[in-house]
Structure 1
Amino acid sequence: MNRSETEQLTDELIGEAVLSLLKEHGPVSKQSLVKRLQDMAARESDPRRCEALAAVILEINASNTPFAQRKKARPQRDLNGMKSEQKDNVFPLFGDGKPGGRNNIH
């Protein structure tokens, strides 16, 4: 699947900004990401990257949804697609996770 150069550049710029925040052990929030992207834009000499940075900053600022709310909790589903009461993302790959009868050695 091919993506446009603009989308790829956008992803790279956001990735660079997030990685720099993580390397500094700083918080990764909407505000810190926008600030880092603005700092990158101020130092950037490539007009194409400057334009992409400006577009990314506008897009993030236009979004009223905090990062934490973007990935809403969804009900867990088992392998058959049925809702499960499971609270984490661990589930058995084979069977129901219970040991078989006495006759099963392996």
Structure 2
Amino acid sequence: MKRSDDEYLTDIVIGEAVLSLLHEHGPVSTQALVVRLQSMEAKESDPSRRAAIANVIADISNNNMASMIRTSRERKKRPGSKDNVYPLFVNNQQPGAGKKH
């Protein structure tokens, strides 16, 4: 197969999986998509489609893991990043005893 044929088959497989999730009124999430693709892969009899589905599952899993790692690193870099609470004002000065008005 040519690269364009692979991309076309990948698009078809992802589209079928997403449409089946939408048809069942199920959640459309990365996890739901991977589960649906795994189900499709188990039932598929065509070797080229089975390989395409396996590649899509691997791509989604790899991209999702990379995104989780990147998000985790970004979260650790932020000041005060405990429990997803981020300070809006980093200046920790206490108000003075003098009157403002």
Per-residue CA shift, 1:7-63, capped at 9, x if unaligned? 000000000000000000000000000000000000000000000000000000001
Q: Which has the higher helix share?
A: 2
Q: Which residue of structure 2 aligns with residue 41 of structure 1?
A: 41
TM-score, normalization by structure 1: 0.58
Write the distance in 1 (CA, Å) between the matches of 2:61 and 2:6. Answer: 19
Write the distance in 2 (CA, Å) between the matches of 1:52 and 1:33. Answer: 14
Gaps of 5+ in 1: 67-106
Q: Which residue of structure 1 aligns with residue 57 of structure 2?
A: 57
Write the distance in 1 (CA, Å) between the matches of 2:49 and 2:6. Answer: 9
Q: Which amino acid aligns with 2:12?
A: E
Identity across the alignment (%): 61
Write the distance in 2 (CA, Å) between the matches of 1:59 and 1:42. Answer: 18
Q: Structure 1 runs of 4+ off > 6 angstroms?
A: none
How many residues matched? Answer: 65
Relative contact order (C-alpha < 8 Å, sep 6+): which is higher?
2
Which entry has the higher C-alpha Rg, 1 or 2?
2
TM-score, normalization by structure 2: 0.61
Gaps of 5+ in 2: 69-101
